[in-house]
Structure 1
């Protein structure tokens, strides 16, 4: 394994002498395991890590970080939930000893674990990179984090901002409609191109009639599989609401296949007596729906089945901000100083019907989406003003294109470096090897019509507004009331919405969907409405998508032979069997959402394959991808500018967690026996061996409204912790059946609050 590969995969950038030392160190560590050698290795590593610490630069110099109190290793080792040394710590992977900071100790613990097989501490999170093993790569990742400067909690009052670069005017500008990107095929990835099929078309007549003619009504499938009969199931990896906000935002950059209002009706039959759509039991209710238009010249025979087409560009090129055609792009510009149209209060302009005027026609679908659309127009104008300030002689077009290049690069970087690793896991997409003219970036039907509609499962049923302290700034609203209500932002602004998205957890990626999406009524029950899940299923049949098993085969996976190979949930297996009969007849969207998730990912095997394939082709087949057109220093600056940075640059929001795609909070403390504390000593000043923890004490976590959020019992050392917090705000930790309580304010989505200790008499 060469040093250059390590540098690329793990962003290793220490001084040259230290890099060569690190490679040698790990070779020694692997070859020798006796105590003397390990001691020498550790001493040298500590010396070099201290050098890294002295030379580090803050990744977010303007963002204050709360200093966390360190804990002795012994107090941490036997926390009740920490079993399995290979387990990946999703809360902070590089914090190996789970003490609230990333330091040289963490790297040393990994090295020690690798070189001392007998005395492994199985309670340490030593699988830092999530690859199911301990290796030098785990230690390197810890060291890189320290060297980057974000391994040591620090307090800073620095006002310096981390801004993206201002590149010179590009020698060639990306077209608005996507044409001319590929030197061999002028139209690859451009507006109007046919969707790619990875699996054969599966129309019931082989030509164009809806697939799944022998399957139950899409509404029946929705009722059986997607009804929310219990409380919301939150994402088990702590993904925040930004996973669906950004997912929708980027989806609108990649594809659009709108139905034709004059097209053929494919209404969805509603089961008789459906409580929402047929409460009178008429048996005649339907959910109205029309077919997607097909590409001209297709759908004429079995050899030429119907094909759909993409109405926007297939590249991640910021088309939802800038448009996919010249008329739209021009209508969004002021043609003064390179700026785009925006109101005096920093909001997108509205048309006569109250919808925002943006690069994509769907920008008003919900206020969360409108907020992030607005954010990127603000960023464009901020960049345009900065470019003009540094070069007052620059023409409007030059400023516009320079700002557009940076904004598009930021969107690409956030997608590939934050969003996709959060959703798919760290290693789902291969490392970038540069532009490849043989790669068609076109949108796969399986991706746009099935796999990337997973976001519908993750939405919460409420939209909220939060202030910088993590508390609600006004009452939540039902999700259904946030649809096509862009004018509401004139009252709320976008700041509190963006803070909310970073401060609450998303729902799990599964088949269960909130009522606002599944039973969206136009009036009282029976007055008509929509079921987005039934429409997802029906749209897959409209597009002639192959079934789940055939699609697995098309993506190079083995076919499943039982429902148990799709999901370990026995009840779900039974439901699938009752609807489809066998595993070769499952609607693709249903099969994807039913899959057990891959390790360290929030999607199943085929879902991950489909999404990774699409994003890898969209990247590798884009001649203007930011890593191909920017300088090394510009690339580094773009990649250091996270979505959190971008929000804080363009709003009044402060104190966001570094990675806003995760909302992972931990509260921790200890129950201490009073008699073990000397009279003149405070608990925080005691050595670990001087105090005694009390096991078996029940502790409760209480929400702001007095509801029980979670409960636990102290372990044999008196330690306890809570990780079941799904949003920021006020909480109380209390001993059960006692008046002893501690008030806690969780201000952001990465809080680690420790030292919530209780002293008891017995």
Structure 2
């Protein structure tokens, strides 16, 4: 397959043989690149076993028990006074752009019954449920281990996990992470992506989502998780529409461009928009100014800002993927909602009734999609804290047979499955004091409330046993941040790596592969509010949709939101030398 070098390859970047291996699809989620040593793998008692015992040699507490004691939410959700649902939703959409860890499956892709006949097989790592559990009436929660990556040369080594998608922030959730996925999503004409009824993403007959009627269908996108909740389907739909909007404008400006040229140029713009929104709107909602500066996460208002470092690995770190970036799970609302054009709630559906069900997106001839977008952009999100709502702590992926999971317990168990080092190791790595006791005085859990320290002592035998997910999520957040010091460190380093380890980062100035300065300055006008106004019949919106509409961020007419001037892409290639062609040999 041939690609023009100026466009990022679908699943491998033309960065040189060594660098290309770091972050392509089907590569390893890295235990080591954020650290000078392989924190995580070194703690495993046996090469292939998960982390299952504490410092005293006794079994670690059940993740479900930890979830019940530490992560159970109260009757009233704690709202974020500053940020909208968009902070959570962008985090989920972005997460699916940079990480997907496949789990082991049986013949014909069947899931393992790890609480039944396969319970003792190496593919399984079931979660014990306490006898007095307040919700589940069984003693076991199904859990299959993540698929391992073969070691180099198939030699013995520690178990490492696979990332099925590219680690780069490159729009792979929109376009897929393989040539086959991308081809299936394209029309092959005018650079457009396929759409279904009512300008929604096309149908996916292979998916097994739950449908309310014969008129509903499973959505197809660049990432297979598009149907998980309606608000995620909205995110995918928005960028399919934005791709096609831009492609039509570029085609009109450059009638001599063929399908491939229009498609690849549009894809490059969309990837840059996602990068820009992430670093200028999403991350400033997660971090305060000091953290943004510390990890070099700020973008310049105009012009180039070349930060590429060929020694910086953009590979997604295991600690980021299965623990730190899952902080957003505590921000998931109890419901999915539709909001009318005058910003009044029309419907609120408990989240447990929306899993793998695209009905809300598709109802009313697709108007549900617009109403969901309006809800995500305007309603207060939940505070990032240690609490997780019952709709996904007890009822995650509720099916029609009444089966469900606990997301907090699954997160803890996934960290153990991957051999992630416990909380104290990451404290030390981040230059923070490790806890030697469960109190919150010096030498203890200094970034936790005393009540939380007591709860942690109730379930763990020693501070060195505390799981990274639970320890990090239960920290007091840094003022102006959505996370505490440990997660701020892991997240900050990872997002710095995504930026500095990507030769195709939108702000870099490299002849022949990036944007012209005029084009880049247009990209830097982009805001998520602009994308929403361009693709929905919004009458008004606040400029920063990651922050609630109040004060200086009040509602304005969509006509007053700055727009990207695509005329800067008119026939610009005529002034450049012909692109070389890169052939990737499989």
The 2-side partners of 1:523 and 1:362 are apart by: 16
1:273/1:300 CA distance change after superposition, 3 Å: farther
1:306/1:475 CA distance change after superposition, 3 Å: same
CA contact (8 A) 2:7 2:265 kept: no
Q: Secondary structure at the match of 1:187?
A: helix
Aligned-pair CA distance for 1:527? 5.2
Aligned-pair CA distance for 1:476? 0.9
Larger gyration radius, structure 1 or structure 2: 1
The 1-side partners of 2:435 and 2:379 are apart by: 36
Which residue in the other structure is 1:348 paired with?
201
1:483/1:748 CA distance change after superposition, 3 Å: farther
| 1:200 correspondence with 2:40 | yes
Cα deviations across residues 498-546 of structure 1 (Å, max 9, x unaligned)? 1101211111111111111011178799954210110000000000100
Q: Secondary structure at the match of 1:506?
A: strand
| 1:378 correspondence with 2:251 | no
Q: Secondary structure at the match of 2:22?
A: coil
User: Please, which of 410, 417, 432 is the counterpart of residue 542 of structure 1?
Assistant: 417
| 1:478 correspondence with 2:358 | no
Q: Secondary structure at the match of 1:361?
A: coil
- Structure 2: where are the runs of 5+ without partners? 54-58, 107-111, 113-122, 209-216, 299-304, 509-513, 558-586
Superposed structure 1 runs of 4+ greater than 6 Å apart: 298-301, 521-526, 746-749
1:502/1:523 CA distance change after superposition, 3 Å: closer
| 1:255 correspondence with 2:118 | no
Q: Secondary structure at the match of 2:161?
A: coil
1:485-504 mapped onto 2 (5 Å cutoff):
485-491=357-363, 492-504=367-379
Which residue in the other structure is 1:314 paired with?
167
| 1:176 correspondence with 2:10 | yes
1:347/1:253 CA distance change after superposition, 3 Å: same
CA contact (8 A) 2:412 2:470 kept: yes
Which residue in the other structure is 1:661 paired with?
546
User: Please, which of 259, 264, 280 is the counterpart of residue 396 of structure 1?
Assistant: 259
1:9-88 mapped onto 2 (5 Å cutoff):
none
Aligned-pair CA distance for 1:379? 0.6
Which residue in the other structure is 1:212 paired with?
52
Which residue in the other structure is 2:474 paired with?
594
The 2-side partners of 1:230 and 1:545 are apart by: 32
Aligned-pair CA distance for 1:233? 1.2
The 1-side partners of 2:471 and 2:350 are apart by: 29
User: Please, which of 121, 134, 140 is the counterpart of residue 286 of structure 1?
Assistant: 140
1:557/1:275 CA distance change after superposition, 3 Å: closer
The 2-side partners of 1:219 and 1:518 are apart by: 9
Q: Secondary structure at the match of 1:188?
A: helix
CA contact (8 A) 2:286 2:481 kept: yes
1:300/1:217 CA distance change after superposition, 3 Å: farther
TM-score of the aligned structures, taking structure 2 as reference length: 0.80
The 1-side partners of 2:316 and 2:401 are apart by: 37
The 1-side partners of 2:474 and 2:153 are apart by: 31
| 1:577 correspondence with 2:457 | yes
1:193/1:522 CA distance change after superposition, 3 Å: closer
Aligned-pair CA distance for 1:568? 4.1
Which residue in the other structure is 2:309 paired with?
436
Q: Secondary structure at the match of 1:345?
A: helix
CA contact (8 A) 1:287 1:528 kept: no
1:355/1:437 CA distance change after superposition, 3 Å: same
- Structure 1: where are the runs of 5+ without partners? 1-168, 279-283, 668-727, 729-745, 750-762
Aligned-pair CA distance for 1:297? 2.7
The 1-side partners of 2:349 and 2:248 are apart by: 36
The 2-side partners of 1:220 and 1:549 are apart by: 20
| 1:265 correspondence with 2:131 | no
1:345/1:580 CA distance change after superposition, 3 Å: same
Which residue in the other structure is 2:135 paired with?
276
The 2-side partners of 1:296 and 1:458 are apart by: 35
1:642-657 mapped onto 2 (5 Å cutoff):
642-657=527-542
| 1:532 correspondence with 2:532 | no
CA contact (8 A) 2:233 2:358 kept: yes
User: Please, which of 61, 70, 73 is the counterpart of residue 225 of structure 1?
Assistant: 70
CA contact (8 A) 2:340 2:371 kept: yes
Structural RMSD (CA): 2.6
1:580/1:615 CA distance change after superposition, 3 Å: same
The 1-side partners of 2:252 and 2:396 are apart by: 51
Aligned-pair CA distance for 1:195? 1.5
User: Please, which of 421, 428, 434 is the counterpart of residue 553 of structure 1?
Assistant: 428
Which residue in the other structure is 1:243 paired with?
87
CA contact (8 A) 2:166 2:177 kept: yes
1:487/1:351 CA distance change after superposition, 3 Å: farther
1:401-480 mapped onto 2 (5 Å cutoff):
401-428=264-291, 429-430=295-296, 431=298, 433-472=306-345, 474-480=346-352
User: Please, which of 392, 400, 408 is the counterpart of residue 517 of structure 1?
Assistant: 392
1:521/1:439 CA distance change after superposition, 3 Å: closer
| 1:618 correspondence with 2:471 | no
1:212/1:469 CA distance change after superposition, 3 Å: same
Which residue in the other structure is 2:119 paired with?
none
1:347/1:201 CA distance change after superposition, 3 Å: same
1:386/1:455 CA distance change after superposition, 3 Å: same
1:457/1:426 CA distance change after superposition, 3 Å: same
Cα deviations across residues 223-274 of structure 1 (Å, max 9, x unaligned)? 11111233111225x1210011100000011011021123611111111132
Cα deviations across residues 406-446 of structure 1 (Å, max 9, x unaligned)? 11110000001110111112342315652111111101000
The 2-side partners of 1:525 and 1:337 are apart by: 42
TM-score of the aligned structures, taking structure 1 as reference length: 0.62
The 2-side partners of 1:516 and 1:396 are apart by: 44
The 2-side partners of 1:181 and 1:316 are apart by: 15
CA contact (8 A) 1:203 1:210 kept: no
1:296/1:522 CA distance change after superposition, 3 Å: closer
Which residue in the other structure is 2:571 paired with?
none
The 2-side partners of 1:322 and 1:522 are apart by: 25
1:747/1:625 CA distance change after superposition, 3 Å: closer
CA contact (8 A) 1:180 1:187 kept: no
Q: Which moved more, 1:224-233 or 1:531-540?
A: 224-233
Q: Which moved more, 1:170-179 or 1:530-539?
A: 170-179
Cα deviations across residues 28-80 of structure 1 (Å, max 9, x unaligned)? xxxxxxxxxxxxxxxxxxxxxxxxxxxxxxxxxxxxxxxxxxxxxxxxxxxxx
